[in-house]
Structure 1
Amino acid sequence: MAKSKRKEKSVELANQILENYQPKTVEDMQNALKDIFGPMFEAMLKGEMDNHLGYESNDKNEKETDNRRNGYGKKILKTSAGEVDVKVPRDRDGSFDPQLIPKRKKDVSAIENKVISMYARGMSQRDISSTIEEIYGFSVSHEMISDITDHVLPELEEWQTRPLSNCYAFVFVDCMFTTIRNQYESKKYAVYTILGYTMEGKKEILGLWLNETESKHKWMQIFDEIKARGVEDIFFLSMDGVSGLEEGARAIFPQVIVQRCIVHLIRNSIKYVPSKDYKAFTQALRKVYSAPSLKACQNSFESFKQQWTAYPGAIDVWERNFEHVEQLFDYGSAIRKIMYTTNAVESIHSSFRKVTKKGAFPNENALLKVLYLRIKELETKWEGGRIQNWAMVRNQLLLHEELKDRVLRYLE
């Protein structure tokens, strides 16, 4: 069926529902859908029976066959809109085995879970509707898909306001941008994500926030919010170079150790380096931030500056931020390996982009729904796992004099 025809039929059906039922509330609409589901299932079951017998009801060939229709049996189905009474056609020899609603099956609400699963994987409403039609033989309107996926909104709101752990050993913050249609224009929105590592070495996404821009004021609001949700202390915060973010974080969590992402510094510095020298330049840099000790790091940096004097812009990026490189060597190698980059949260954003690449979202809720469903998939993947080498990380945290008392407080 052509897209325009399907759309016309969907609009026609919607108008008929509104005209006949005149729903005033969501509950009224659910009751209307229940009334529609019954006849819809019955019509599809009759079609299956026609196919099973080889002729339609009241066909003249009916008398020429041994097996014929034999009335109806009653069945109560559980659907996403509630329980629905359905008449299931029977045949005389009992060989009819319906595929839409198999014998002894009473719960057909699984289609709702399938719609949510497809939505979580970034499928557009058009693709979901086409897939359902291909599998089940009937179309699902964009409005119905939206209604089904809206069922996760209360769960999303509860997740966004849930109490958090009182301490996170490591926190990673980052923004990504996606598009939301605002009436007749499309705008880029910043998606703020915070990933935390608990004292037990578990990954946890603390929340999602949307804003039209990335700013230190929004980050401060977010830090204030997570503190209100129970976070008392953060040991390390890894971030990119957003101006004012470091001061904003310390205003809420005074003892936090803020670490500039080394990978971001590399990206910023190679903007001043011709592509032919990328490989040699980054290899020289690696000797600096991966040095075995602070002294070796400082010596490597001096050699690095002498080697690459032809690119003063690149050198300047590192000179202005070298304190963040030196800071790494205040801690053991297991801690350094975690805190030096925001790659952990950027990996989450990479996963988000797979389900947001379909285009602009009609509103904030539509975007948050798909991101939240993606998070649920990630949390299932992380369940039962722990950050690699976490036992060594905890030992190195306890060996650090400035952190020891704070670590013991939250390990008890």
Structure 2
Amino acid sequence: MTTKISEHIIAELLKDCKNNQDLLGENGLLANLHSQIIDSAIQNGICASLDNIDENEYSDYLFAKSLKLSHKQTIELKDEILSLYAKGLSQLQIQSHFRELKNIHLTANHISTLINMSMSDMELWRDRKLDPIYPIIYMDAMRILVKDNGIQKKKSVHIVLGINLEGCKEVLGLWIENYEGAKIWANILSELKNRGVRDIFIACCDNLSGLSKSINAIYPDTQVQLCMAHQKRASLACVKRKEQSQLSKDLLAIYTAPTLQSAEKRLNEMADKWQNNYPAMVKSWYHNWENLTPFYEYIPELRKVLYTTNAIESLNSGLRTVAKRDRTFGSDQIALNAMYLYLEVARKKWTMPIAYWQLILGQFKMLFDERF
């Protein structure tokens, strides 16, 4: 229903306003009018009591009312609470922060209400349309603890981090499943296609069985680059601790070699040195070699982006901080929302393209000109 307020009432309300502050300030006409109208509506039974009032519709009012803050202060407070929560602080730590530094006494209900209200934003974010082209994506999964029908379970959070045509990082989505598998990744990639992703030039991922085929089933022209960092970590885990430093140097010589031929020579040297004691580790390098080596076709600046995987490693580190704080999430939705809030804070820092992006983009245009 649209209600038109009479000119007489408006004139009466405005008669004491002399400037912008009187009208729009923290204690101005509009702020006070908003509060008084809702108070009156509650008292007259037009809307529910404060205990039952819809939190999404009147959230700003509820916080301002309970904490005796202006509308502007309330918005700033909400942003700060969500930012601290996203950075890994517990609800008790957030309460202590505001009590000690700002003399604001938040209840657990204040904080949990805010966190729960952000779920609708998270759902919109997960369903948003995506760019048609992402030159690079990183695919990874991490394990978390979640309560499912009251039972604590280990589940896998699937993460897709993209590098867009501007060279900036963008998380395309988060998905929670009971386990990580090639079929699940195929469903995720199908969803990305339905949300508008027409082409991916390079997909960096681990050596999950069947994953390369799943990627190429949805995106036939995408080049699969196995994650060198995963391969290196798996190799180091196979050897004795005192031998890890030497093996690390031998592996570094492989993935920093200037050409594929040089890398193959370094691989054979590594194999000769370690084969007798660790045959399974050496075998894994030869078995994965075809999908470990596509990056040798590219310029050094792009190679480094592909073999270091610093972007996804840094992201996962932040998400693990969130998981460590909550230990066991109450549900899949609560877990997704906590991680979404972390991503919202991280996203504000992702304003610059990755190093040497124009040079990298130039090579992409030269190699994949017809796909732009």
Q: TM-score, normalised by structure 2?
A: 0.78
Q: Deviation per CA, 1:48-93: give whole Å up to 9, x if none.
A: xxxxxxxxxxxxxxxxxxxxxxxxxxxxxx9442875x9xxxxxxx
Q: Of 327, 340, 352, which residue of structure 2 is paired with 1:372?
A: 340
Q: 1:109 aligns with which of 74, 84, 90?
A: 74
Shift of 1:282: 1.6
Contact 2:83 2:345 in 1 (8 A): no
Q: Which has the larger radius of gyration?
A: 1
The equivalent residue for 2:201 is 235
Distance 1:346 1:30, change over 3 A: farther
Partner of 2:3: none
| 1:253-289 alpha-carbon deviations (Å, 9 max, x no partner) | 1100001111111122223322221111121122122
Kindly indicate whether the alpha-carbon contact (under 8 Å) linking 1:195 and 1:203 is maintained by their aligned counterparts in 2: yes
Pick closer, same or farther for the CA change 1:257–1:181 going to 2, 3 Å.
same
Is contact 1:271–1:314 with CA below 8 Å preserved after alignment?
no
Long gaps (5+) in structure 2: 1-41
Q: Show the counterpart of 1:394.
A: 361
1:350 matched residue in structure 2: 317
* Matched AA of 2:85: Y
> How many angstroms does 1:382 deviate by?
0.9
Hey, what's the Cα distance between the residues in 2 that align with 1:302 and 1:216?
Answer: 31
Contact 2:135 2:202 in 1 (8 A): yes
Which structure 1 residue ranges, 5 or more long, are not aligned?
1-20, 22-26, 35-77, 87-99
- TM-superposed deviation, 1:366: 1.9
Corresponding residue to 2:284 among 294, 299, 317? 317
1:136-175 pair list within 5 angstroms: 136=103, 138=105, 140-142=107-109, 144-175=110-141
Cα distance in 2 for partners of 1:334, 1:341 equals 11
Are the counterparts in 2 of residues 238 and 341 from structure 1 also a CA contact under 8 Å? no
Distance 1:238 1:283 in 2: 23
Question: Could you tell me whether the CA contact under 8 Å between 2:225 and 2:293 is conserved in 1?
Answer: no
Partner of 1:28: 48
Separation in 1, partners of 2:136, 2:179: 25
The one-letter code sitting in structure 2 at the alignment partner of 1:334 is E
Identity of aligned residues (%): 29
Counterparts of residues 296-335 of structure 1 (less than 5 Å)? 296-310=262-276, 311-335=278-302
- Report the AA paired with residue 163 of structure 1: K
C-alpha displacement at 1:193, in angstroms? 0.7
1:7-406 equivalence runs, <5 A: 28=48, 30=50, 79-81=60-62, 107-110=72-75, 111-132=77-98, 135-136=102-103, 138=105, 140-142=107-109, 144-310=110-276, 311-358=278-325, 359-383=327-351, 385-400=352-367, 403-406=368-371
Q: For CA contacts below 8 A with separation 6 or more, give which structure has more relative contact order.
A: 2
Aligned to 2:10: none
Q: Is the Cα–Cα contact under 8 Å of residues 101 and 108 in structure 1 kept in the other structure? A: no
Against the structure 1 CA distance between its residues 217 and 320, is the aligned structure 2 distance closer, same or farther, given a 3 Å change threshold? same
* Per-residue CA distance 1:86-136 (angstroms, 9 max, x = gap): 9xxxxxxxxxxxxx858xx56552443343233222233344345555554
Residue number in structure 1 paired with 2:17: none
Equivalent residue, structure 1, for 2:4:
none
| C-alpha distance in 1 between matches for 2:140 and 2:204 | 9
Question: CA 1:370 to 1:234, structure 2 compared with 1: closer, same or farther past 3 Å?
Answer: same
Q: How many residue pairs are counted as aligned between the two chains?
A: 320
Regions of 4+ moved over 6 Å: none
Q: What displacement does 1:181 show?
A: 2.1
- Is contact 1:31–1:81 with CA below 8 Å preserved after alignment? no
1:133 touches 1:140 (CA, 8 Å); kept in 2? no
Query: Which amino acid is the alignment partner of residue 322 of structure 1?
Result: W
User: 1:349-407: CA deviations, max 9, x gaps?
Assistant: 10111222122111222212221111111110112x0110111112222333xx2322x
**Contact 1:80–1:112 (CA under 8 A) maintained in structure 2:** no
Q: Which residue is 1:67 aligned to?
A: none
Aligned residues of 2:64 and 2:74 also touching (Cα < 8 A): no
Q: Distance in 2 between matches of 1:33 and 1:136?
A: 27
Any conservation in 2 of the 1:172–1:196 contact (CA below 8 Å)? yes
CA drift of 1:229 comes to 0.5
Please say if residues 116 and 149 of structure 1, whose CA atoms lie closer than 8 Å, have aligned partners that are also in contact. Answer: yes
Please report how far the alpha carbon of residue 341 of structure 1 lies from its aligned counterpart in structure 2 after TM superposition.
4.5
C-alpha displacement at 1:150, in angstroms?
Answer: 1.8
| Deviations 1:228-258 (CA, angstroms, capped at 9, x unpaired) | 0000000000001111111111111110000
Deviation for aligned residue 1:301: 1.9
State how far apart, in whole Å, the 2-side matches of 1:115 and 1:215 are. 36
* Residue number in structure 1 paired with 2:16: none
Code of the aligned partner of 2:329: F
